[in-house]
Chains A and B, each alone.
Chain A
Amino acid sequence: MSRAGRSLRPARERRPVLTVLAVAAYLIMLGPALFVVAVAFTSGSTITFPPEGFSLRWFGAAASYRPFLDGLGTSALVATAATVIALAVGIPATLAVHRGRLPGRAVVQNLFLSPIVLPELVLGLALYQQLMVGLGVTASGVLLIGHTILLLPYAVRVTGASLALADPALEEAARGLGAGPVTTFFRVTLPVLRPGIAAAAVLGFVTSFNNVPLSLLLQGPGTETLPVAMLQYVQTSYDPVVAAVSVVLLLAAVVVAVVAERLVGFNKIFGGIGS
């Protein structure tokens, strides 16, 4: 009897093994981040754990270090611009692939998704060769183009996922009610896709902001992104300034996540990505 009843136990019953595993997983994921956070508030001058005392001096140091400030500006600018351009190109492409009677739509779809499988170093090198050396495009221009290409698959996939979930009859219904194709797009298609577009924007921005390989390859004077600046700093000095910057970035990521959750909801953002 007790054996047969086991599978019927309530879901809330304690499961010690599972709990231990879950806690361990969180520790492994968050441990390094917590370590960095602790180090950032040290009053000592080296990265040691446990930190010596408490101070905000490394945040001050980070805020007055020019390459970080410039890098932050560049990163924010590139991430914003690349996200906007990738969406502006990616959304119409998604619509064409999903709703249009495009000949060879599979080819178009694969073309837009290909950067995801292409190693970023290869992409960066190709852009460097062809655009910067070959055509003389400026460093910032190439950086922007590179990041846009990097984000296109996200724009196409994430908006595509929410488009695939949307009922195609919605647009037909709008047409039948008297709305032309343009009105239908702005009054129905776009609003229905809004959560998907917001998700693609958040994902795109974060991806661009955190990118290292492409930014590193395409860097030029005045176009170092924040991660590149941090990398270069770490190569020469080993003090808690980088930890302080990391904490700021971590905080920013949390803020973005909370705002995104408030705006559209996480399950909406990440629910459709797999499909």
Chain B
Amino acid sequence: MRDGSDAVVRLAKVSRHFGDVAAVDGVDLEVPAGSLTALLGPSGCGKTTTLRMIAGYEHPTAGQIFIDGRDATGLAPEKRNIGMVFQSYALFPHLTVAKNVGFGLKVRGVAREEIRRRAHEALELVGLSELSGRRPRELSGGQQQRVALARAIAIRPSVLLLDEPLSNLDARLRVQMRAELARIQRESGITTILVTHDQEEALQLADQMVILDSGRVAQAGHPRKIFPAPANRFVATFLGYENFLTLPGRGLVTIRPEHVAVLPESGTAPDGGQSRPGTISRITYRGTDSLVTLDVEGDTILAAASDPDLHEGSRVRTFFPDDRVVPLAS
């Protein structure tokens, strides 16, 4: 049974309830071929559960899952041709790196020579071909992760599923692996779904960003579409829009701290925005700039500023440029 769309993975009104908890609640999702979709949201919003349902480790209590156009809702994991990288990597401790990577091919009955060739190819893609004789415990965290990635890629899966692949790495390695992941995904062209709660990671890697809130899709689309125009307060908060206020003629709006201008109290107001008087209540130095907390007519507003003449207690004028102010559906 084909579903008539060209999405590699399609979720139709998928829900997963654990007793009273709706971990995933009526999610619709389409993952186009060759794309990288990022599922993101705060802890407990249902990211892992969604991914596990796509992999077949968890079954929906309602809705349908299509993979390669076929209804896969009740299919066992081994019948889905999916490559999953677990948060714990889940490398087989009793097998060498090469055997780990070749595992999926071996259980598929691929000939030994072919297994060796494709395992080597996958290890080459992740830059680890010299370590093929080692055991997982003889590898660093970053290397283990690459092996897990190679193992998932080696079976040429319909879709690659990554559950917070970078969260176990230290900050420097994370940035490095993020670029590496982008390269591998681009070179292999494998349709990928990435779970993360790091918005930066999603913005940088994804073609499609799906933000989940308590098991529901809060907003989905290309990062360049979503980031400048969050649809509601939840998405805005999640993307680092700290300020929520009501402006005359615009209703409830949000604006990022770096877009709020802090100007001298006297002087003429610039055009193309709205000004409001405020008092600086706190200045937190951050290195490149300072985070300024202001009391603006009863609203608490955060602004990023680098002007050294600002002092706590100063009366200033805050300026909200029209083209930076994002109206929110209330």
Residues of A within 8 A of B (CB): 167, 169-170, 172-180, 183, 187-188, 191-192, 194
User: Can you give 19 A-B contacts (C-beta < 8 A)?
Assistant: A170-B90, A170-B93, A172-B90, A173-B92, A176-B55, A176-B77, A176-B83, A177-B78, A177-B83, A177-B103, A177-B155, A178-B81, A179-B78, A179-B107, A180-B76, A180-B78, A188-B92, A192-B93, A192-B94
Beta-carbon nearest neighbor of B86 in chain A: A169
Q: In the bound complex, how far is the Cα of B91 from the Cα of A167, in angstroms?
A: 9
Alpha-carbon gap, A191 to B92, bound state (A) = 9
B230 contacts chain A at the CB level, 8 A cutoff: no
Nearest Cβ distance between residue B98 and chain A, in whole angstroms? Answer: 14
Total number of B residues with any Cβ neighbor in A under 8 Å: 25
Does B57 count as interface, using CB distance less than 8 angstroms?
yes
Tell me whether B90 and A173 are in contact (CB under 8 A). Answer: yes
**CB of B151 within 8 A of chain A?**
yes
Q: Is the CB of B151 within 8 A of A177?
A: yes
Which of A167, A176, A178, A191 contacts B88 (CB under 8 A)?
A167
Contact A177 B107 (CB under 8 A): yes
In the complex, what's the smallest C-beta–C-beta distance from B76 to chain A, in angstroms?
A: 7
A-B contacts counted at CB < 8 A amount to: 66
User: Which residues from 195 to 224 on chain B have a C-beta closer than 8 Å to any C-beta of chain A?
Assistant: none
B82 within 8 A of A: yes
> What is the CA–CA distance of A177 and B107 in the complex, to the nearest angstrom?
8
With a CB–CB cut-off of 8 A, which chain B residues contact A174? 92, 103, 107
B104 at the interface (CB under 8 A from A): yes
Q: Does B108 contact A (CB under 8 A)?
A: yes
Q: How far is the CA of A174 from the CA of B103 in the complex (A)?
A: 8
In the bound complex, what is the Cα–Cα distance between A179 and B155 (angstroms)?
Answer: 12
Contact B155 A178 (CB under 8 A): yes
Q: Are A178 and B94 in contact, with the CB atoms below 8 A?
A: no
**Residues of chain B contacted by A188 (CB below 8 angstroms):** 92
Contacting residue for A176 out of B78, B87, B93, CB 8 A: B78
Report Cα–Cα, A194/B86, bound state, in Å.
23
Q: 13 new A-B pairs (CB below 8 Å) besides A167-B88, A175-B76?
A: A167-B90, A172-B86, A172-B90, A173-B90, A175-B56, A175-B77, A176-B57, A176-B80, A177-B104, A179-B78, A179-B103, A187-B103, A191-B94
A81 to B270, CA, bound (A): 91
Q: Provide the residues of chain A in CB contact with B86, threshold 8 Å.
A: 169, 172-173
Give Cα A179–Cα B56 distance, bound, in whole angstroms. Answer: 13
Q: Which residues of A contact B84 (CB under 8 A)?
A: 172-173, 176
A191 to B96, CA, bound (A): 13
